Structure 1
Amino acid sequence: FANDVILRACAGARRVHIVDYGIFCGHQWPSLIKALSVRPEGPPHLKITGIDLPMVPEATQAGQRLTEYARSHGVQLEFCSIQSNSWETVQPVTHSNEFLVVNSNGRLQNMKDEWVAINNPRKLLFERISKMSPKLVVMTVGNSSMSSPFFLPKFEAALEYYTAKMESMDAWLSDDLEQRSLMEKTFQKVIMNVVACDGLDQVERPEKYKTWDVRAKRAG
């Protein structure tokens, strides 16, 4: 869905720059690169700035794989890798002639918030994004509030959210036991962190989409 939105929005643009907060291994982008390669007006010059944590080696490796994939589809790709523990302080190099897209696929929930940081990094990040003046901002978030410092509210939120996740897997992963097992292990790690950890030890801090929307609007 996110790639379809980006593809439609950048139609006709000759230079497209995507700033991806939490790029990880870059798995989101091959399908977009392929779609850009067959645009009626021809592929644009594509730049991807991939931002992730220093302890994520996949983020640096993503550049080479994506560049080779883009070359095989006739797309000129410039890749820039930025590793930082403080995404709100990162200043990507952008240019006025680019169609600038800011993207994050579910990774902003790992940033500190006002419950654990005096200078709220999430607020500062949106202010930074606003100053970049992107043409498009695409965010995927887990629509649940689990960042409360109190046990009961975040326990109830985790129970409701992941019960729905598990029930949905009954429908679309009923025959794929290996994939289901992998997803369940991922959920278990997140639930354990939310329920058993407090303060800075809690790294999974999802918020409702309305909260993210308010943050974005306040930043301009």
Structure 2
Amino acid sequence: MSSSLPPQKPDVTLSLSLRPTSSGGLKPEEGDVKLIQLLLTCASHASSGNLHHADACLRQISRLASINGDSMQRLAVRFASALAVRLVKRWPGLYKSLNINGAASASCDIVRAREIFERTFPCIEFAYAVINRVLFQAMSREHVIHVIDLGSGNPKLWVAFIRGLHELSDEFDHGPPHLKITCIGKDKEAQERLRAVLVKEAEVLSMPFQFNPVMVDIRDLKMDMLKIEPGEALALISILSLHVLLAEDDRVESHFGLSKNDQIKDTKRLNEFLEMVKSMSPKVVLLVEQESNHNSNRLVDRFVEGLHYYSAIFDSIDVAFGGFSRKDRTTLEEMFGKEIENIVSCEGMEREERHERFRQWAVRFGKVGIRPIRLWSENMDEALKVVEDYGPSGFKVISEKGSLMICWHDRPIYAVSSWNCFRFLANNDG
């Protein structure tokens, strides 16, 4: 499907000749191209406020798209729905009366969707393997290790880290280190479940352990909440969490056309957060983010980028599920549909899915003096094995400008990067 998409910076007045089949319909690949054309045209009308033309496009899309169709048809459903929500938001009373937010949230089980994604795809497990490897390299000689998890709260990551530290304990002159994990998150039940799992694991392995839950949103995090003590070797881990700090009350250009040169604007909240991180002097900061740019103020830019990015995601879903487990597939696609809805229908502080590419994060981190540590793929055997052992072909890993990126074919979809405020891994530093 992704091969049907126009170039990354397309002329949105694209005109394509569609040859009808003998039955009077469209060939499957022609139907996909027609859907892309209609979606781009509809986005143009939605951006310029031409509601009647946008409505006409949506009617045509509804005849070609299907929640049970091929990957392009299913993706079109998500983008069309997001455009419809954007249009309805022009009438706040109508939007609130329809209770769109509540209904959509109820139909999307995010927790289950994340479990399905982690179980079915190698992306997150790959990130976990990279994180563990880098943490072991950074902390191998430390007496007290304090890891701050900025929102993942996943027992699988930290159980593996605890076991890995225990296996390495013979290399510590002072015995196993004291490990403290601080987890940021507002879900009290999830925090309690994580505490129970990790405390039990540490007790079984006789490892000194402390769990520090911080019941706040990352946007409200203050340094004194983290209970950082002198002498601790500090690490921060952000897995698909940091981009929400890019949200701001920005103004949107309402016209639809070719974009100006992309500029990386300062964002006060993220700058303050990164300054706080730098003041902690962590040995390592590990960042996992979507490798795409959905942070343009212009709807057309992020709409086209979103089509390219999520077409790769939905293509990989097709291969992973192979026509089976339709319920799980739909649950997973509803999660991505919520991301698409936020990218397309929301503006200002409400728009939180502001994904940026690694090179953009490098500029933001660099401005406060946080530098990347090069991740060499040949030193990441366990992480690479995660991808190699994955059943369906299509995923691969590339090393690009200091990060490791997992790709669907040639399209990077997630980037894992490592950062610090001073050089401590000379052999890995780029």
* Residues 171 and 123 (structure 1), Cα distance of their counterparts in 2 relative to 1, 3 Å cut: same
State the partner residue of 1:162.
Answer: 310
Contact 2:292 2:357 in 1 (8 A): yes
Select 2:228's aligned residue among 67, 74, 94: 94
Contact 1:51 1:81 in 2 (8 A): yes
Deviation string for 1:75-123 (max 9, x for gaps)? 2211111122334534322234222111111111222435559962111
Task: List runs of 5+ in structure 2 lacking aligned partners.
Answer: 1-129, 252-265, 370-430
Q: CA separation in 2, counterparts of 1:176 and 1:35?
A: 36
Q: Does 1:108 align with 2:242?
A: yes
Query: Which range moves more in the overlay, 157-166 or 168-177?
Result: 168-177
Q: CA separation in 1, counterparts of 2:323 and 2:145?
A: 40
Q: CA separation in 2, counterparts of 1:191 and 1:70?
A: 40
Q: Partner of 1:141: helix, strand, or coil?
A: strand
Matches within 5 A, 1:126-137: 126-137=274-285
State the partner residue of 1:190.
Answer: 339
Q: Which amino acid aligns with 2:195?
A: G
Contact 1:18 1:47 in 2 (8 A): yes
Select 2:358's aligned residue among 198, 209, 220: 209
Matches within 5 A, 1:1-220: 1-39=130-168, 40-41=170-171, 42-52=175-185, 54=186, 57-85=189-217, 86-87=219-220, 89-91=222-224, 92-114=226-248, 116=250, 120-174=268-322, 177=325, 179-220=328-369
Query: Which range moves more in the overlay, 106-115 or 183-192?
Result: 106-115
Query: Which range moves more in the overlay, 161-170 or 101-110?
Result: 161-170
Q: Partner of 2:210: helix, strand, or coil?
A: strand
Q: Which amino acid aligns with 2:179?
A: L
Greater gyration radius: 2
Contact 1:20 1:49 in 2 (8 A): yes
Q: Partner of 1:103: helix, strand, or coil?
A: strand
Contact 1:10 1:99 in 2 (8 A): yes
Q: Partner of 1:64: helix, strand, or coil?
A: helix
Contact 1:113 1:120 in 2 (8 A): no
Residue 181 (structure 1) shift: 3.9
Contact 2:247 2:348 in 1 (8 A): no
TM-score by length of 2: 0.47
Q: CA separation in 2, counterparts of 1:186 and 1:46?
A: 34
Identity of matched residues, %: 26
Q: CA separation in 2, counterparts of 1:146 and 1:208?
A: 9
Query: Which range moves more in the overlay, 38-47 or 10-19?
Result: 38-47
Contact 1:25 1:58 in 2 (8 A): no
Residue 61 (structure 1) shift: 3.5
Contact 1:144 1:157 in 2 (8 A): yes
Q: Which amino acid aligns with 1:72?
A: V
Q: What is the total number of aligned residue pairs between the two structures?
A: 219
Residue 198 (structure 1) shift: 1.6
